[in-house]
Structure 1
Amino acid sequence: MKRAILDVIKEYETIVIHRHVRPDPDAYGSQMGLAAILKGNFPEKKVYCVGEDEPSLRFLGEVDVIADSVYDGALVIVCDTANTERIDDGRYAMGAKLVKVDHHPNEDVYGDLAWVDTGASSCSEMIAAFVEAFPKELMLNETAARLLYAGIVGDTGRFLFPNTTPKTLRYAADLVTFPFDRTEIFTKMYETPLNAVKLSGYILQNFQMTENGAAHIYINQALLEEFEVTARDASQLVNRIDSVIGIKAWILFVQEGDIIRARLRSKGPVINGLAKEYRGGGHPLASGATLISESEIPEMVAKLEQLCN
């Protein structure tokens, strides 16, 4: 499949790369890292990265604003996005050909070509593997290495999550041979606004956990306003309780307008099935879902308790 994707890349003069909504470092890293690789190896091609701008990730790069006409006869590549509902910018279907590159379970099959590797720690790791597969045709560059490294760091939790494999560490070792500033990446990725730090204190004091190790907390609009934080800032605090003794799986619920975002994490029980029941999905130990009313919170918590029992 990697060979097929490289061949189709060579066919097109214009390439537009998408990723998922509410992007994280791996979404930016894989999307913009791939773009940097293509620009470096095929300078004659026009390569664009699209999607809604995310201010907290601007240190990695900025998205392009392009007209609909750019999609005429273009190749579209979607990175790090399991299902079409989560693709940022619905124009992804306007190109001549569509390629999916992802590491989530392939439950929503889309694209003319699809490369899915659930054994990869991140989509950024997949892009690193893509370059490595063609040493005579593709070369890495410092810009791409920095982006891919940030993506891998983000999706492995600084190499602490169980999705970190020997291959992951080997790719990371290859990437850091380039002289980008790793300290800056860690600082920018994990610095937290003061108000969010105060909210994390509230979370630590108020989360609920059962004897079976199922934990949860709900941050509603009133709390967001009290601590003067955005829903995105609050969602970034999902791992604040991961070191609690006895915890098995947990959900951070955050109100976002008329809906409630649920961020699920686990140290063992498989939770992506539960996320799927509530209009979401993801990895076995890290998933997300969307609730349409507060009444679904106790339902979801009860099901999490059953998984932990």
Structure 2
Amino acid sequence: MCKTKILEKITEYEKIIIHRHVRPDPDALGSTGGLKEIIQASFPGKTVLLTGEEDPSLNFLIGMDEVADQDYEQALVIVCDTANQARVDDQRYTQGKEIIKIDHHPNVDQYGDIQWVDTDSSSTSELIYEFYLEFEKQGLKLTEAGARLLYAGIVGDTGRFLFPSTTTKTLKYAADLVRYPFDRPDLYDGMYNTKMNVVRLKGYILQHFTVSSSGLSTIRITKDVMEEYGVTVLETSQLVGILGDVEGVLSWAFYVEEDDVIRVRLRSRGPIINGVAANHNGGGHPMAAGASAHSWEETEAITNELEEVCRKYKRENQQG
């Protein structure tokens, strides 16, 4: 029913503006770009615009459009892959006539006139492909460019199909998408080729991380460290998964110092950590979340909360 309403609204409006979250990842760009491709191919007369700040490292996927304030008049706004209103990139999204939310994160912040939230989905890109399949016989079309974007989003949010969120449906959809003749090796190069300075920062992280008896690993990446290695805050996100391969690590936290805040990236191999993120201006998935700290003292509090989550997880699993 929800998907039918979304199609009805897309059919109704002549102008559609698609938003996603700040600091985009491949799923944010893949789902929004893939949806744009589907709408434009299926309804050639409609104006479909993507908005949000560009991340130069992801421009190989898709670029953003110029969106003027007047474009929002009588426009349908679709927000993809964004759980919280505060994290919507380009806060003009409220200026549209109606808002649709499509997401796979926990629906803590319920917004929009229509909401389609499926936390069992590996990614929002998976949901967009599911939307296409639902109405393919009614005329929806998927281009090669759209398939490339949706595949990139699924690959990115499943960690190349390694994360527990990967299901048989996820793999089936991926198999469908690779039938389109886009250049997969070139796509992987764009997503996973790592610059030399980022590789050197990886060495620094592997030399300086700590692991507690509870299975929590933490690393501080200060502004001085980033300056020394010549990396940006965005580039540090490429390395957040590396501590998950360390034996004995159940959960890990990256503390990345910005000018006015400390970015907190949390990951887990079992303990549920999004509650800790929610306590510190953040949120996300049970095993992949983010938060913000306003001092190094607050990061110590986050560490203590994560320690308790890991200890509880170990106790429960030992008893089981």
TM category, shorter = over 0.9
| Residue 232 (1) aligns with residue 212 (2) | no
Correspondence for 1:283 among 282, 285, 297 = 285
Cα shift at 1:31: 0.4
**Could you tell me how far 1:277 is from its partner in structure 2?**
0.5
Quote how far apart the aligned CAs of 1:258 are: 1.2
1:135 shift after superposition: 2.0
1:228 Cα offset (Å) = 1.0
| Distance in 2 between residues matched to 1:265 and 1:32, nearest whole Å | 26
Offset at residue 242 of structure 1 (A): 1.1
CA distance in 2, matches of 1:212, 1:79: 36
Q: TM-score, normalised by structure 1?
A: 0.99
Q: How far apart in 1 are the matches of 2:154 and 2:43?
A: 24
Which residue of the partner structure matches residue 109 of structure 2? 108
Q: Which residue number corresponds to residue 129 of structure 2?
A: 128
1:302 alignment partner in structure 2: 304
Residue 76 of structure 2 is aligned to residue 89 of structure 1: no
After superposing on structure 2, the runs of 4+ consecutive aligned residues of structure 1 that deviate more than 2 Å are: none
Letter in 2 for 1:287: A
Q: Secondary structure at the match of 2:225?
A: helix
Identity of aligned residues (%): 54
> Which amino acid in the other structure matches residue 139 of structure 1?
K
Letter of the structure 2 residue corresponding to residue 198 of structure 1: R
Instruction: Give 2:26's aligned residue.
Output: 25
Q: Distance in 2 between matches of 1:18 and 1:66?
A: 11
1:110 maps to a residue whose letter is: Y
Corresponding residue for 2:315? none
TM, length-normalised to structure 2: 0.96
Q: In structure 1, how many angstroms separate the alpha carbons of the residues matched to 2:57 and 2:69?
A: 27
Question: Could you list the runs of 5+ residues in structure 2 that have no partner in the other structure?
Answer: 312-320
Question: Is 2:47 the counterpart of 1:46?
Answer: yes
User: What residue in structure 2 maps to residue 16 of structure 1?
Assistant: 17
1:1-309 pair list within 5 angstroms? 1-137=2-138, 138-309=140-311
CA distance in structure 2 between the partners assigned to 1:256 and 1:119 by the alignment:
33
Query: How big is the shift at 1:139?
Result: 1.9
For residues 202 and 101 of structure 1, the distance between their equivalents in structure 2, rounded to whole angstroms, comes to 38
What SS does the aligned partner of 2:219 have? strand
Write out per-residue CA displacement over residues 262-296 of structure 1, whole angstroms, 9 at most, x where no aligned residue: 00000000000000001000000000001111111
Q: Which runs of 5+ in 1 are unaligned?
A: none
Q: CA shift at 1:256, angstroms? A: 1.3
Aligned match of 2:316: none
User: How far apart are the structure 1 equivalents of 2:171 and 2:153?
Assistant: 13
Paired with 2:258 and 2:192, the residues of 1 have a C-alpha distance of 22
Secondary structure of the equivalent of 2:120?
coil
Letter matched to residue 166 of structure 2: T
**Residues 144-164 of structure 1: CA distance to partner in whole angstroms, max 9, x if unpaired?**
100000000000000001100
CA RMSD of aligned residues (A): 0.7
> What amino acid does structure 1 have at the position aligned with 2:25?
D
**Amino acid aligned to 1:263:** R
Please list the CA deviations of residues 79-125 of structure 1 after superposition, one character each: whole Å capped at 9, or x if unmatched.
Answer: 00001000000110001100000000000000000000000000000
- The one-letter code matched in structure 2 to 1:292 is H
